[in-house]
Amino acid sequence: MTISQTRHDWSFDEITSLLDQPFNDLLFRAQSVHRAYFEPNRVQVSTLLSIKTGACPEDCGYCSQSAKHDTDLEQERLLPLEEVLEAARTARDQGATRFCMGAAWRNPTDRNLDRVVEMVEGVSNLGLETCVTLGMLTDRQTRRLAEAGLDYYNHNLDTSPEFYDRIITTRTYQDRLETLAHIRRAGIRLCSGGILGLGESRRDRASMLRQLANLPTHPESVPINLLVKIEGTPLFGTDDLDPFEFVRTIAVARILMPRSYVRLSAGRSDMSDELQALCFLAGANSMFYGERLLTTPNAESVGDARLFERLGLTFETIDAGEKTEPGSCSRQAV
Ligand code: SAM
Ligand code: DTB
Ligand code: SF4
């Protein structure tokens, strides 16, 4: 397959007709695109750590950390630097190349940001790529993170603009888009995707993908989460999504954003090995690895290792000083 220009002008109809294709046709096309841009059997691996847990003023209907929901979560203040670095060392020794730190804030205060900056510098000195997700940022805060050498900022659109206010009412879609623009302006790489299984329709999934694919530059990393249903959240008890819909959405993300890493994110612990294999076939080439996501358990590492062996997949590695080049096949397998 020839490598074509990436597009930023996808129409809603084009995207729904991709989602509507027969499953085999869609997967064949997604896998062909994937092979044109990436080593097909390599998966980038990130490890997550919640650096500040719970008591969040936002009301995201899926989230254990909202102060507005009555979940069993234990709140935690911002973790001490040494504890974060210890977790990062463990993640690195287990094969992660990126360490993602998440905080349950609507936005960080400048004082808190000073402490996150120390964490970013410390984790970076361990030879890991850094990612943080801290909520909304001002331009000045974003520049500060860029100066600290932050590699990625995670900020998800979560769902379509049409479905959004069924899930979150304390901030708007436009707020999310503006934070994404601040991050881009500061030259930080973007990690932005969404959650499936919120009760949205296929049209909503198409609309969310359209938002991501028509950004002026595609996010370098596109996490596709499957809702982790958490007791006490408004979305607990939502009907299960047809797993093939999840695979279809990954396949279409791969086709629309061919150079981006598509991450098979939250929800793997509820997926069979066979479903995860289909996600990799559809073009997912990144995942979270390690005991926990933010507040919930992740798929077990021993199971992941076994699955990788059975599928002949390998973890991506990074050479000292190298940074990820999306869709460039510049990395090596172990
Ligand atoms: N507070 C920040 C924010 O919302 O951007 C950062 C942390 S927030 C937990 C990061 C992302 O995790 C959310 O945007 C959402 O996409 C995902 N997430 C949170 N809870 C989830 C759940 N129960 N299931 C699946 N994904 C979830
Ligand atoms: C993303 O898209 N998913 C991650 C990360 N970015 C921050 C978070 C998943 C959270 C799953 C539920 C939990 O553990 O609280
Ligand atoms: Fe807060 Fe982020 Fe959870 Fe929303 S997703 S409640 S902003 S921690």
**Chain segment 198-251, per-residue pLDDT in tens:** 999 999 999 999 999 999 999 999 999 999 999 999 999 999 999 999 999 999
Residues with CB under 6 A from ligand 2: 48, 64, 100, 102, 133, 154, 156, 193, 223, 225, 228, 265-266, 293-296
Q: Is the pLDDT of residue 329 over 60?
A: no
62 ligand 1 Cβ < 6 A: yes
Choosing from 53, 113, 167, 195 the residue with most ligand 1 atoms within 8 A of its CB, the one to mutate for a pocket test is 195
The CA-atom distances, in angstroms, between 19 and each of 14, 26, 203, 208 are 9, 8, 9, 12
* Cα–Cα dist 2/295, whole Å: 42
β-bridge partners, 190: 153
Structure token pair of residue 87: 């977790």
Task: Give me the catalytic one of 29, 42, 63, 331.
Answer: 63
Q: Give catalytic status of residue 279 as yes or no.
A: no
Position 333 scores a pLDDT of 34
Residue 276 CA, ligand 2 centroid: distance in Å: 17
Position 320 confidence tier, pLDDT thresholds 50, 70, 90? low
51 ligand 3 Cβ < 6 A: no
Q: Give catalytic status of residue 56 as yes or no.
A: yes
Task: Give me the catalytic one of 56, 205, 210, 331.
Answer: 56
The percent of residues in the chain predicted with pLDDT above 70, rounded, is 94
Task: Give me the catalytic one of 171, 176, 189, 191.
Answer: 191
Task: Give me the catalytic one of 100, 115, 248, 331.
Answer: 100
Q: Which residue has the higher pLDDT, 256 or 95?
A: 256
Q: Is the pLDDT of residue 5 over 90?
A: no
H runs (alpha helix) in the chain: 12-19, 23-37, 81-93, 110-125, 139-147, 173-185, 202-213, 243-256, 273-281, 301-311
In one-letter notation, the amino acid at residue 334 is V
SS (H, E, C) 258-269: CCCEEEECCCHH
pTM of the model: 0.93
Q: How many CB atoms lie within 10 A of CB 323?
A: 10
Tens-digit pLDDT profile for residues 258-284: 999 999 999 999 899 999 999 999 999
The rounded mean pLDDT for the chain is: 92
Structure token pair of residue 263: 């991450």
Position 71 scores a pLDDT of 86
235 ligand 3 Cβ < 6 A: no
Tens-digit pLDDT profile for residues 279-308: 999 999 999 998 899 898 998 888 999 999
12 Cβ contact list (under 8 Å, min separation 6):
206, 207, 210
53 ligand 1 Cβ < 6 A: no
Position 143 confidence tier, pLDDT thresholds 50, 70, 90? very high
Position 273 scores a pLDDT of 96
Tens-digit pLDDT profile for residues 39-66: 999 999 999 999 999 889 999 999 999 9
CA angle 26, 213, 330 (to 5 degrees): 80
Tens-digit pLDDT profile for residues 152-174: 999 999 999 999 999 999 999 99
Residue 36 CA, ligand 1 centroid: distance in Å: 31
Position 310 confidence tier, pLDDT thresholds 50, 70, 90? very high
In one-letter notation, the amino acid at residue 200 is E
* Cα–Cα dist 42/50, whole Å: 26
Q: Give catalytic status of residue 185 as yes or no.
A: no
Residue nearest to atom 2 of ligand 3 (CA): 104
Q: Among residues 294, 326, 280, which one has the least CA distance to residue 62?
A: 294
Q: Give catalytic status of residue 60 as yes or no.
A: yes
Residue 28 CA, ligand 2 centroid: distance in Å: 29
DSSP state at residue 78: P
Closest listed ligand to the CA of 228: 1
Position 3 scores a pLDDT of 56
